């Protein structure tokens, strides 16, 4: 596991391959391990870097103010990478979009799986779905909250827990338990946000953009995919993946790898 100093923080990452650079940015309920099915496949053609965002996984969290999108560019600088394609899932997709808007000269392409978008207001339907699927969960009970978030996001409202590989569920809960602790710590640090946020600026994304979601994901994720596809000038939306929730790259690595290799070529 390499570590590298980026903007005063020590960030953990994995790297493999040679060729055009690709940076993988994980979901907020995960860490860089969610890309375990992509690293080797993409490394056959690309220099691939899977990053633990500051505070997540094995990356540390100094008390100094920071912005995730600036850390991504700091990583590129530290690794001697001039420009890279960014691949993001969920929150990692939001960070990828913010990076492309804040530093457009550093990003060659965006591939977004089940992405969030900064500044987006989640619908009342999402809140109602949470209530119906998991109910009231004590925020301080990280084990219960991890189980609830995995039920909501990874299994998704379109499936039952028994429909999903139990090893995948267990691994997702392990990652999310760690991510919840990270988010609690991040709440004590000043985190810079893109201003204005990305939700009103998708038309500024001039690079190629690939968008895909799992068919069992929450409806707002599909709405965001449609919004990006409609507003980003060079965006393409692939068909939704059947029997897939929010962590699409982890659940269907072969499907995602095929899409990525074709897109990045």
The secondary structure of residue 150, as a DSSP letter, is: I
Give the per-residue pLDDT at 36: 96
Give the per-residue pLDDT at 135: 87
The secondary structure of residue 127, as a DSSP letter, is: H
| Per-residue pLDDT tens over the stretch 123-174 | 999 999 999 998 888 888 999 999 999 999 999 998 999 999 999 999 999 9
User: Distance (Å, rounded) from C-alpha 17 to C-alpha 49?
Assistant: 9
| Per-residue pLDDT tens over the stretch 178-205 | 999 998 898 899 999 999 999 999 999 9
133 and 18 share one domain: no
- Give the rounded percent of residues in the chain with a pLDDT score beyond 90: 92
Contacts of 213 (CB under 8 A, 6+ apart): 113, 114, 221, 222, 225, 240, 241, 248
**Which residues face 209 on adjacent strands?**
110, 235
| Per-residue pLDDT tens over the stretch 62-100 | 999 999 999 999 999 999 999 999 999 999 999 999 999
Per-residue pLDDT at 58 exceeds 90: yes
68 and 24 share one domain: yes
44 and 85 share one domain: yes
Give the per-residue pLDDT at 1: 66
Q: Which range, of 2-6, 17-21, 39-43, 121-125, averages the lowest pLDDT?
A: 2-6
Give the per-residue pLDDT at 233: 98
| Per-residue pLDDT tens over the stretch 197-241 | 999 999 999 999 999 999 999 999 999 999 999 999 999 999 999
Per-residue pLDDT at 177 exceeds 80: yes
87 and 111 share one domain: yes
Q: What's the pTM?
A: 0.97
Task: Give the range of the structural domain holding residue 172, as residue numbers without chain letter.
Answer: 124-183
Angle, in degrees to the nearest 10, between helices 166-186 and 142-149: 120
116 and 130 share one domain: no
117 and 240 share one domain: yes
Number of compact structural domains in the chain: 2
Considering 183, 201, 232, which residue would you say is the last residue of a domain? 183
Are the beta carbons of 100 and 107 closer than 8 angstroms?
A: yes
Tracing tokens 């953009």 back to the chain, one arrives at 209
111 and 222 share one domain: yes
DSSP labels, 51-88: E--TTSTT----SS-B-HHHHHHHHHHHTT-S-EEEEE
């Amino acid at each position: 596991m390499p570590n590298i100093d980026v903007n005063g923080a020590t960030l953990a990452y994995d790297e493999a391959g040679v060729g055009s650079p690709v940076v993988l940015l994980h979901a907020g309920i995960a860490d860089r391990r969610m890309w375990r099915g992509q690293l080797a496949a993409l490394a056959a053609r690309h220099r691939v870097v899977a990053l633990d965002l500051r505070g997540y996984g094995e990356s540390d969290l100094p008390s100094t103010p920071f912005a995730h999108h600036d850390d991504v560019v700091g990583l590129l600088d530290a690794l001697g990478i001039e420009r890279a394609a960014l691949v993001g899932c969920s929150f990692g997709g939001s960070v990828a979009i913010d990076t492309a808007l804040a530093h457009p000269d550093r990003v060659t392409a965006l591939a977004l799986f089940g992405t969030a978008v900064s500044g987006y207001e989640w619908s009342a339907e999402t809140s109602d779905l949470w209530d119906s699927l998991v109910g009231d969960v004590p925020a301080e009970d990280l084990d219960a909250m991890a189980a609830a978030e995995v039920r909501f996001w990874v299994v998704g409202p379109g499936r039952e827990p028994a429909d999903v590989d139990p090893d995948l569920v267990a691994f997702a809960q392990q990652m999310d338990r760690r991510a919840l602790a990270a988010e609690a710590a991040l709440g004590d640090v000043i985190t810079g946000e893109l201003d204005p946020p990305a939700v009103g600026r998708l038309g500024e994304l001039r690079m190629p953009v690939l968008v895909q979601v799992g068919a069992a994901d929450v409806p707002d994720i599909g709405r965001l995919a449609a919004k990006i596809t409609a507003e980003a000038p060079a965006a393409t939306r692939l068909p939704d993946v059947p029997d897939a929730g929010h962590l699409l790259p982890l659940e269907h690595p072969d499907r995602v790898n095929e899409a990525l290799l074709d897109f990045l070529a």
